[in-house]
Amino acid sequence: MNNFDFLIGTWDVANHFLTKRLAGSDEWEDFPGRSVSHAFFDGTGNFDEIVFPTKGWRGATVRTYDPATELWSLYWVSSRTGRMDPPVVGRFVDGVGEFTGTDVWEGQPVKVRFIWNDIAADSVHWQQAFSLDGGEWETNWHMYFTRAS
């Protein structure tokens, strides 16, 4: 528990977003975000909301820790859909958090992976990848967090 305490606070976020997923694209879009994160349940839970001012939408993540399994479940919801995606589940090992799950992208089942790494007091990196078969991963979104002053 308390693995996501590093994220508590307000962050400026540089997004690097693959515009066409699972299509062999190399066209990326960059846009800003602002994220605010809070802990709950004495650190066994975490919530953040991110605003993408140039995109006109927001996202939120709810993270919960299960002490029996020592696993985190991360749930993403976007204001574009209002739908909470199925969770990705995992843990931190040696300062890197890896979380995987299944979802549907444009009507096709996909495996999803989130990685939290390069965690420092004033910066952190997050990335998302999709895979059709669980073997080859296509990274489609990077978020570079810098603590807001």
Residue 54 in contact with residue 34, Cβ under 8 Å? no
CATH class of 5-18+30-147: mainly beta
What is residue 133's predicted lDDT score, i.e. its pLDDT? 86
Contact indicator for 45, 39 with CB cutoff of 8 Å: yes
Q: Consecutive sets of 10 residues in the chain, 149 residues long: mean pLDDT of each? A: 92 97 94 97 94 96 96 96 94 96 92 97 97 91 96
CA-CA-CA-CA torsion sign (28, 140, 57, 63): negative
Q: What is the dihedral of CA 121, 123, 129, 134, to 10 degrees?
A: -30
pLDDT at position 116, please? 98
Give every CB contact of residue 139 below 8 A, 6+ residues apart in sequence. 18, 127, 128, 129
* Identity of residue 7: L
The residues, any chain, with a CB within 8 Å of residue 26's CB and separated by 6 or more, are none
Q: Exposed, middle or buried, 106 (CB in 10 Å: 0-12/13-18/19+)?
A: exposed
Rounded to whole angstroms, how far apart are CA atoms 146 and 137?
A: 26
**Residue 5, pLDDT score:** 94
Question: How many C-alpha atoms does 13 have within 13 Å on its Cβ side?
Answer: 28
Q: What is the pLDDT of residue 134?
A: 72
Q: Let me know: does 90 contact 97? Beta carbons within 8 Å.
A: yes
Indicate the domain borders of the chain.
5-18+30-147
Global pTM value: 0.94
